Every structure is written in structure tokens, then in C-alpha cells.
Amino acid sequence: MKEEAQYRCPWLDTTKPDYVEYHDHEWGVPVYDDQLLFEFLTLESAQAGLSWYTILKKRENYKNAFANFDVNKVAAFTEHDIEKLMQNAGIVRNRLKIVATINNAKCFITIQEEFGSFSDYQWRFVGNKPQVNDLETLADYPAVTEASTLFAKDLKKRGFKFLGPTTVYAYMQACGMVNDHSNNCFRKEEVKKLG
């Protein structure tokens, strides 16, 4: 029996099976686990100026390069670690982004100490529940919102780097702070139930 075609978000390149897998199982699912949040934060900041798919293809390499996204280990990286990362062809070898990841790990830990978890801190920006957006077409997708602007501003004040309002909005979409599946995407209602 032929599988029924499912409609997916208009931004998704359905010719890339790994991209479809990410969309169908991860994108927009609410995340409350700090280690996974640090992973998404790291990957989104690495993505600045590049396509998300470029980073998605390198995700496993990032996991290996950045101590499985153990925030305490990354925060302890030294100049020697930075030099090793600069030789790692499996990640984006941008010194500023690498240094920013280590810096962001330290800032992340400070937030954990202040709020109990990074999750508790970040979910305040959407009133502690996923915001569901009304999206029909690609043109309906915002690049920045009031919440992402406030969140980015607060992160910057706390010392984070490479996390402007646009990058932060992409992060909010990825970790389910907003449900930005299009209205006719089969994941819209499934993800809604998870929130």
C-alpha cells in the first residue's frame, strides 16, 4: 500500500531525507532539557550567516568537537582546545564563533545558577508555554518577533555572543518556544499536543 503524502512546512527541502527527519521529529518540539538547549543554542549561533542545513549536516561533528554539549566541559575549554577546533574540518572553523561558544557556555552556567535551569530562564520569554503562530505561506513566517528581540537583548546583556534577534528566533522555533509549523503541516497539531 502506498504511503499517503503528508504536507510539510513550505520552507522544508523534502529532497533531503535528513532535513525531513529533523522537521518531522525535532523542529518545534518543546525542549526543557538544558543539555539539549545548549546544543541548539550552540548550533544556532554557529549557523549565523549560513544555512541551517549546513549546520545540520555537521551536527554530529559539533557533538564530538564540543564534548557532547556538556556545558561545564565546554566552559572549561582552553586556548589549546580552540586551536584544535580551528583544525577540525567537521565544524565551521570560525574563531569568533568557536570563542563565542565557550563564552556562551560560561554565561549559560551563570543563568543556571541564577534561575535553577536555563530552561526556566528562557521559557519566561513566552509566558512558560509554546506560542502557536498562524502561518499559511512562507511569507507569513517572521524572522524576528518582539519576544525574540527581548530574549536576544537579555542574552546580550548577560554576555552571550552571536545570538541576535533573528538567530534567537530560529532557536525559539527549533526548541518549541514557538510552534511555527504551517497550518496545513501534519506536525502542527502533533506538536501542539506536546506543548
User: Is 9 annotated for ligand binding?
Assistant: yes
Contact of 92 with 85, CB cutoff 8 Å? no
80 belongs to an annotated ligand binding site: no
Contact 177, 131 (CB under 8 A): yes
pLDDT of residue 5: 64
Confidence tier at 104 by pLDDT (50, 70, 90): very high
Is there a binding annotation on residue 23? yes
Residue 175 counted as an annotated binding residue: no
pLDDT of 29 > 60? The answer is: yes
pLDDT band at residue 99 using 50, 70 and 90 as cut-offs: very high
Instruction: State pLDDT tens for residues 58-95.
Output: 999 999 999 999 999 999 999 999 999 999 999 999 99
Q: How far apart are CA 86 and CA 94, in angstroms?
A: 7
Catalytic residues: 22, 44, 52
pLDDT tens across 131-173, in order?
Answer: 999 999 999 999 999 999 999 999 999 999 999 999 999 999 9
CA 182 – CA 19 distance, rounded (Å): 16
The pLDDT assigned to 1 comes to: 41
